[in-house]
Structure 1
Amino acid sequence: MNKTDSFAISELKTIGLTPFIYCSNQALFQVNRNVPLVDALSMASDFLFLAKDLTREAAFNRDTDRHIWAAHYLTAMSKALVDDVTKVLERGPDRESKKAKQ
């Protein structure tokens, strides 16, 4: 990867095509468009860190399930972010540059 490629990757943004948290078979939330991929992945990492802590706490505190539900929603958001980033990376830079030329 040369310097131009790494610059191009740092310019990539989410496409906002990934829904998460469904209610009555309809997506309640969706990843927003135009978030830099680095920021999206950083947020997904933060969500997963919190979910990991919540699941560990839930293993020791069996009086309530609130930790588990919080971890469930955090992992759903993390997955949506990672899936949206993956969609952008799978498209490849050639598709983006072709769209810009049109």
Structure 2
Amino acid sequence: MNKANPPQLSNLKTVGLTHFIYCSDHPLFQVSPGVPIGEALAQASDLLSLAKAFAEDAVYSRDSDRHAWAAHYLTALGKAVIDDVLQGLSLEVARH
């Protein structure tokens, strides 16, 4: 990385290369490019926090698996956002 010109994290954005939720080996969704990474990570944190709460509910709720499925999908969404941010950071580091 060029120490004279380090990347400004506040200027970095999602790259939009990460797909998630697959149907028959085809991605159904993709992270949108151009979202500031701070906002994207804050959203991922919220998604993962909700997933944790639903997973805890799933442990205690034996009448339905809807909490487990909600946790599954929220986790997939949060992971995709984080993976996309990491891809963007890797690309930025490679450029410097």
The TM-score, its normalising length taken from structure 2, stands at 0.89
Across the aligned residues of Structure 1 and Structure 2, the Cα RMSD in angstroms comes to 1.8
For structure 2, which runs of at least 5 residues remain unmatched after alignment? Answer: none
Report the structure, 1 or 2, having the larger helix content: 1
Taking the aligned partners of 2:66 and 2:94, their CA distance within structure 1 comes to 45
1:38 and 2:45 matched: no
Offset, 1:5: 4.2
Taking the aligned partners of 1:55 and 1:94, their CA distance within structure 2 comes to 37
Three-state SS of the structure 2 residue aligned to 1:67 is: helix
Taking the aligned partners of 1:25 and 1:88, their CA distance within structure 2 comes to 24
For the pair shown, the structure with the greater C-alpha radius of gyration is: 1
Taking the aligned partners of 1:59 and 1:35, their CA distance within structure 2 comes to 34
Taking the aligned partners of 1:5 and 1:43, their CA distance within structure 2 comes to 25
Q: Deviations over 1:39-95 (max 9, x none)?
A: 110010000000000010111111100000010000000110000000011112562
Q: Across the two proteins, how many residue pairs are aligned to each other? A: 93
In structure 2, what is the equivalent of residue 100 of structure 1?
none
What letter corresponds to residue 40 of structure 1 in structure 2? A
For structure 1, which runs of at least 5 residues remain unmatched after alignment? Answer: 98-102
What letter corresponds to residue 92 of structure 1 in structure 2? E
Question: After TM superposition, what 4+ stretches of structure 1 lie above 3 angstroms from structure 2?
Answer: none
1:73 and 2:73 matched: yes
Q: Report percent identity of matched pairs.
A: 52
